[in-house]
Amino acid sequence: MILTTKVAWIGTVVRVFLGGIIGWAGIVKIHNPEAFIKIVKAYDLLPEGLVVIWGIFLPWIELVTGLFLFSGLWHKSAVLSSSGLFLLFAVAVSINILRGADIACGCFGFNDTNLYVVLLQDLVFLLCCCFLFFFKSTPYSLDHLLSTSRNAELS
């Protein structure tokens, strides 16, 4: 897909922004796993045995996904992973909105947030991921740097 320079730069900004958002969300949760595990339990979506496992591993998945997206390494995999996360979050929030639950979202800390705003935010981020999916790489990404250096070696 041939992209204009302006669209490629917009893709770079979106990629770096989303990578920062996902990475930051993971870091916040890693620093206080007990509080995040309580939020996972409050969502009431997982069997008791999986709550602690999910509460411990999800922040690390977010951090790694955020780092890959931010750096632009393995662009497609990072975009698919972040899309899956945002879709999962949107579904979890939607279920709790339908239940009428009054819980903290657990997104970037542990404060109470309007779940409707959180749902909208997750859907906007998911749309941004859909936009990024159509890029092979973006300027100032490790994928772009690696493909450029490989092409230079071949010529």
Structural domain span for residue 126: 5-154
Q: What is the pLDDT of residues 140-150, one digit of tens each?
A: 777 777 776 65
* 1-25 per-position pLDDT tens digit: 445 778 778 888 899 999 999 999 9
Please report, as a single letter, which amino acid is at residue 86.
F
Residue 98 pLDDT > 50: yes
pLDDT at residue 1, as a whole number: 47
pLDDT higher at 16 or 139: 16
Q: CA-CA distance, 12 to 34, in Å (whole number)? A: 35
- Judged against a pLDDT cut of 80, whether residue 152 lies above it is answered with no
> Does the predicted TM-score (pTM) go above 0.95?
no
At 88, is the pLDDT very low, low, confident or very high (cuts 50, 70, 90)? very high
Query: What is the count of structural domains for the chain?
Result: 1
Banded model confidence at residue 139, pLDDT cuts 50, 70, 90: confident
Residue 15, C-beta contacts closer than 8 angstroms, at least 6 positions apart: 69, 70, 72, 75, 132, 135, 138, 141
Average pLDDT, the chain: 86
Give yes or no for residue 59 having a pLDDT over 80.
yes
Please tell me the predicted confidence (pLDDT) of residue 134: 83
